A and B are shown apart, each in its own frame.
Chain A
Amino acid sequence: MRSPSSFNHHLGRRKILGSIALVMFMSSVVVGILGLVVLLAQILFQGLEWLSPELIFNFPSRHPEQAGLKAAIFGTVWLMGLTAAFTVPVGVGAAIYLEEYASENWLTRLIEVNIANLAGVPSIVYGLLGLALFVQWLSMGRSVLAGALTMSLLVLPIVILASREAIKAVPETYRQAAFALGATKWEVVRSVVLPSASPGVLTGIILAMSRAIGETAPVIAISALVYLTFIPQNPLDRFTVLPIQIFNWIARPQEDFRGLAAGGIIVLLIILLSMNALAVFLRNRYQKQSVE
């Protein structure tokens, strides 16, 4: 039997230490949550009184009480529409290639490593790429087209990664069943893989778009800070977007513009939250389906 003297459990000390650590761990989580709460409270507190129809339906103005987000909202809609139009086919196509067609070789590995690294490139660097490539060399000017192409490259890794996950989750038996019926690879992809992966793909696209809506830095590099009182009519028009307009208002010294900025942030956050809610909704429905 053990000799009782050779161990000194220090139980009391260890328990106290454990409780102290637990308090520290918990307060860390609380700091994160509290940060979010204070941030939201500050914005609501500052911005709620500025929420008005003018904020949505007016063009920007030198007078805070008349200034609105109209140009920015339309610019954002244009930018998102074009970005989605470029990103979705390319991103989903790349994901299909990597999951369904690619063989294990150096090119595939290069593409994968490359996508992982692209996800870590600062967004302002994408802005510089767009500025040099689309604005200057391809002479698109500071247009919404140049902005959308730049934004597409920026969110492409997100769409590719999410689509790959969704495609990976399609059971192998589905494919085998389709092949056994004599379908070609492309037919299998088109009529079996894509339909069952589509909720996951869609979720990824929504998340990528909500990232794109909030991105400011690359758009500034492309569009600069413009004072626009018109709506883009075609892809080569100049444009501005919500976060740039907000940034513009924050940067002004007058107190009223700060409030206006907070109002604009509320609008932006509402759009983002509804997009995220949609993504969560899709994810849940999808998960339920796959259980059944």
Chain B
Amino acid sequence: MSDPTTDDGEPRFRRRSKTWEGGAVKWLFLACALVSILTTVGILVSLVINAWGFFTEIPIWDYLFGTRWSPILKPRDYGVLPLVSGTLLVTLIGALVAVPIGLASAIFLSEYAPDRLRRIIKPVLEILGGIPTVVYGYFALTWVTPQIQKILPDLLVFNALSAGLVLGLMIIPMVSSLSEDAMLAVPRSLKQAAYALGATRLEVSISIVVPAALSGVIAACIIGISRAIGETMLVTIAAGATPKLTLNPLESIQTMTAYIVQLSLGETPHGSLEFNTIFAVGLLLFFMTLVMNVGGHYVVRRWGLRYE
């Protein structure tokens, strides 16, 4: 390297062409990374612009607080609350199933299960989380509903209850694996200290591990619930298509997502008021899940304890 030129005076190492290449490559990769930003911008812009067409005709107040949703059949009404209540009802049932079961499974897997058992159970739960949601819809409609009908003969074929129960089953893996990660991150030294004081395994789990992992556990629940809010095919198939402002789980309802699918199925003319309703509903849905996700990340950042 001591002699940078060859005998005829030409530079021996010529890399100049490579410099612009390196620069161009970097910008190309940056462009790839920016696609994700553009996606977010695109989601916002496309939702807002099309929803704008809707809100110029229907006052936003009537939309947000109206209690009847009937955008196609006369008399027309554009109050979104029935769809919101449908979404929240199904989500609530799902959360009532998934949160306790998911957390209990996480505690079992992180504190009780021997390694070998955990290595068997975790992939099974992963499979559960990887099954397409139409399949869950099929299951809710053709198995869960008939089973419940044996106990409650009046139950409708499409109902919030079975959709919610299966939704819960669907998000168990998410709640359980995210909270298990949080619990596994609790330093072993804390557990040892608790055991050394004469605590039982249950006491160590409940009074040391869960509190120390609380931020991660809460985030897991929030993210799971946000997933439930956005879940589409399962509720489209099993929960019904009748927007109804009710909290009765035995009724047939319609969720926000199911409405979007229902309208997409028909070939509604683009740009019409009916067509734009799906963007108004989508915008609200987007904000609901955004608030939950940002909330989840905030919980971790704000209350997440850092251990070395």
Contacts and interface: CB of A to CB of B under 8 A. Distances in A.
State if A and B touch, Cβ cutoff 8 Å. yes
Given A36-B127, A125-B285, A185-B22, A120 B223 contact: yes
Interface string A91-105: 111101110111000
Contact of B121 (A33, A115, A185): A33
Given A111-B36, A186-B21, A128 B279 contact: yes
A117 B290 contact: yes
A32 B128 contact: yes
Interface of A: 9, 14-15, 17-18, 21-22, 24-26, 28-29, 31-33, 35-36, 38-39, 42-43, 46, 89-94, 96-98, 100-102, 110-111, 113-118, 120-129, 131-133, 136-137, 153, 156-157, 160, 182, 184-187, 189, 210-211, 213-217, 220-221, 224-225, 243, 246-247, 250-251, 258, 261-262, 265, 268-269, 272-273, 276, 280
B257 A29 contact: no
A94 B131 contact: no
Given A36-B124, A216-B233, A93 B33 contact: yes
B281 to A, nearest CB: 9
A237 B278 CA distance: 25
Interface of B: 13, 15, 18-19, 21-22, 25-26, 28-37, 39-40, 42-43, 46-47, 49-50, 100-102, 104-105, 107-109, 112, 121, 123-125, 127-128, 130-139, 141-143, 169, 172-173, 176, 198, 200-203, 205-206, 223, 226-227, 229-233, 236-237, 257, 260-261, 264-267, 270, 278-279, 282, 285-286, 289-290, 292-294, 296-297
Given A128-B260, A157-B36, A276-B130, A15 B232 contact: no
A280 B124 CA distance: 13
A184 B22 CA distance: 7
Q: What DSSP secondary structure best describes chain B's contact surface?
A: helix
B20 to A, nearest CB: 11
Q: What DSSP secondary structure best describes chain A's contact surface?
A: helix
B138 A102 contact: no
A251 to B, nearest CB: 7
For B28, B131, B292, the residue with the greatest tally of chain A CB atoms inside 10 Å of its CB is B131
A97 B32 contact: yes
A156 B36 contact: yes
Nearest to A110: B37
B132 A214 contact: yes
A25 B108 contact: yes
